[in-house]
């Protein structure tokens, strides 16, 4: 059985100059399930979403986006009211 071809960083600082390859068995395209690019992308996305959800800056940006959409909606309503009252 082939081994996963991903390089892993050792947690041991003395091994920093000797990157190792993953010791798990390759199950898909030469990678283990942890290091398969598809899985990594999935995890990365999940991490990004979790980060955004917990980050006040992104929460504020999301809220601003929502409010801006609401403002646009209200503006378009007001315009239609103005037209009617003329
Ligand atoms: Zn691996």
Instruction: Give per-residue pLDDT as tens, 2-40.
Output: 899 998 876 666 656 667 789 999 999 999 999 999 999
Ligand 1 centroid vs 12 CA: distance in angstroms? 18
Task: Give residue 57's pLDDT band: very low, low, confident or very high (50, 70, 90).
Answer: very high
Ligand 1 centroid vs 21 CA: distance in angstroms? 8
For position 10, what pLDDT does the model report? 67
Ligand 1 centroid vs 5 CA: distance in angstroms? 7
Ligand 1 centroid vs 74 CA: distance in angstroms? 53
Ligand 1 centroid vs 46 CA: distance in angstroms? 19
C-alpha closest to that of 55 among 44, 66, 47, 65? 47
For position 20, what pLDDT does the model report? 79
Model's pTM, two decimal places?
0.52
For position 28, what pLDDT does the model report? 93
Q: Which residues contact 36 (CB under 8 A, 6 or more apart)?
A: 27, 28, 29
């Amino acid at each position: 059985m082939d081994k996963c071809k991903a390089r892993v960083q050792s947690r041991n600082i003395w091994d920093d100059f000797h990157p190792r390859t993953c010791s798990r068995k390759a199950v898909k395209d030469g990678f283990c399930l942890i290091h398969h690019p598809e899985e990594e992308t999935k995890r990365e996305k999940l991490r990004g979403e979790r980060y955004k959800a917990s980050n006040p800056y992104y929460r504020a940006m999301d809220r601003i986006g929502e409010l801006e959409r609401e403002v646009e909606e209200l503006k378009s309503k007001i315009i239609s009211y103005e037209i009617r009252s003329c």
